[in-house]
A and B are shown apart, each in its own frame.
Chain A
Amino acid sequence: MNGTPSSAVTLSTNSTELRLLRVLQTLHSLCAIPNDDQSKRNDEIPKASKELVTLLQGINLDALWQQLNACLSTVSVLEGVTKLSVDDEVKSNGEDDEDGDENGGRGGKKLQNSVAGLLSRFLPTIEAFFVVNACVTDCDNKGVKRTDNSDGNLVGGESFLKFIATNKVLLNALLRSSPTLLDKGLRAMVQIPGCRSFLDFDVKRHWFKQQVRKLRSQASRRHGNLRLTIRRQYVFGDAYRQLSMRTADELRGRLHITFANEEGVDAGGLSREFFGILAKEMFNPNYALFTSTEDGCTFQPNPHSSINREHLDYFRFVGRIVGKAVADGFLLDAHFTRSLYKHMLGMKVSFNLCS
């Protein structure tokens, strides 16, 4: 295992690398810190115990990682990614430039066919790299910098994030060709906040959709579909009353909308219409829930909303509607202020009053 790591990558088959990966995975699960909270288990960054970190440091696979880096940079050059990645980075780093992101995403998609084959040759080693480096530990590590206040110490530290940054294009291509990796070996890419910014939007969205689809079908099995009968003149009020009676889990089921006294089976069209009406109604000034910003395009909660006695219940309802739309993949013609989006993402909002 700790013999000649450099020879591993020269093998034509990757059985040795697979064996290394399995050994590391086994070590990891043996030494893992047990997590009591079952529900949170999948969301959390794997924690490594002090013994494991010491053990891994003893094995010292740095030479292998160096080889891996060298191989991946060769792959980048061979596949013409290196050049492209520069363009990509310029575009997507251009402070969330929409067009750039989209083009970057498309450019990346084109790459996948040529890259994925060659790249998957190195997948076991990449996964091994993640097993060793992409976990956090409570103990202090020399040479390891804290990457995020809440994450504790990342075992791989700076060099791990540098690896992700350098191989951003290849990793995204890999994840496009086998998206399940985000639930498995490359889980850390979504778990560690510092890694997420290196994922392309389409990769993230695909992962997100998979997750909510799972939750939806689980909830549908438990509670059945979410059937609402709505009077067309009172869409907002009817939806408000019917949703408030339900638990969060019941809301996750597949949505079926019936408009009262109308024929028609909801196969998507009626739900879409339902959300379309709600997205308009939630901004109806009569409810006093939202105020538009100066440009009239984006909305944020109205400070005077308390003139509507049930305003907080209404806000909860609107939040559920937006959440339901996002979870079920319905677009809402509803644009909120940047600060509200930040709140939704759990980010700190900068009240930079003096700018």
Chain B
Amino acid sequence: MFSSVIQPTYHDMQAIDPDYYKNLKMILDYNLEDIGLDLTFSTVTHWFGRSQTVDLMPNGRNIPVTDADKEKYVSLVCQHRMTTAIEKQIKAYLDGFYDLVKPSLISIFTPKELELLISGMPDIDIMDLKKNTEYHGYRAADKEIAWFWNIMFTLSKSEKAAFLQFVTGSSKVPLNGFSELQGMRGTQKFSIHKATGSVGALMSAHTCFNSLDLPSYKNEDEMKDKLLYAIKEGAGSFQFS
């Protein structure tokens, strides 16, 4: 679990707690016997007014630190201090979160599920998108539509995300895939509309409706150029629907 947390070095401690940093430096620079320190692999934390001895390794409070392994001690105690150093931040963040979502409601989920709940499924499955696409003015068998999907399958991951942002206003796929894409009136599947403009015009999107207005193009390459242009230029701007 800890591997997902940043691994601060003892140098980072200098910015947070300069005095503590000096102590650690002294431990590293001098023999423990000379400075008369009796250390064990444990530390004392103060958390909401309570102090508590925390083992830095199993049974750490009974394992003395020697000159041979004091670097390990410094690294462990820093990691601990640096993570307890963010407990105030975490508490403030949680206060805000619980203002909106009661702990008793959210606690039914696992961490992984919570991630899915917040961020949605991370991978954009073009097959799934294709399956859940509606056509207006086009038929699924039209050559423009065939070109369009050829292009979509060649896009890089970030281009796919940019495309999704362009069309839906968000780079994230709904929790259950594109069949549950949300629009202004609840579920709104991705749709491709035949644009009335001239051949080779820019494509546009309506994020409220998850729809793409696709004009006619001379060939697949032209369509791809226009699509890449649209998703790059269109990113961040809002199209009125």
Contact = CB atoms under 8 A, between A and B. Distances in A.
Interface residues of B, number: 73
A34 interface: no
Interface in A303-353: 303-305, 311-313, 315-327, 329, 331-347, 349-353
Nearest to B161: A333
Nearest to A355: B2
B16 A339 contact: no
B89 A312 contact: yes
Given A322-B118, A339-B1, A353-B79, A333 B172 contact: yes
B225 to A, nearest CB: 26
Contacts of A346: 103, 106-107
B169 interface: yes
A293 B80 contact: no
A232 B180 CA distance: 29
A300 interface: yes
Contact of B96 (A212, A270, A315, A337): A315
A77 B117 CA distance: 33
Contacts of B183: 268-269
A318 B97 CA distance: 8
Interface stretch (A122-130, A161-169, A202-210): A202-210
Contacts of A353: 2, 56-57, 76, 79-80
Given A269-B207, A331-B118, A350 B93 contact: no
Given A264-B240, A294-B6, A331-B118, A302 B169 contact: no
A338 B174 contact: no
Contacts of A340: 90, 93
A interface, size bucket? 35 or more
A251 interface: yes
A101 B141 CA distance: 34
A123 B99 CA distance: 37
Contacts, number: 229
Contacts of A345: 106-107, 109-111, 114
Interface in B139-167: 165
A36 interface: no
User: Looking at chain A's contact residues, is the secondary structure mostly helix, strand, loop, or mixed?
Assistant: helix
B56 A269 contact: no
Contact of B111 (A267, A272, A312, A342): A342
Nearest to A246: B99
A220 B118 CA distance: 23
A160 interface: no
B36 interface: no
B184 A269 contact: yes
Interface in A79-134: 96, 98, 102
Interface of B: 1-8, 12, 15-16, 54, 56-58, 76, 79-80, 82-83, 85-86, 88-90, 92-121, 165, 168-172, 174-176, 182-185, 207-208, 238, 240-241
14 contacts: A96-B112, A248-B100, A273-B238, A275-B170, A276-B165, A303-B85, A316-B99, A320-B97, A323-B99, A331-B118, A332-B172, A338-B4, A342-B1, A342-B111
Given A353-B56, A353-B57, 10 more contacts: A96-B110, A102-B121, A197-B110, A251-B100, A268-B185, A269-B241, A272-B168, A325-B118, A331-B174, A332-B119
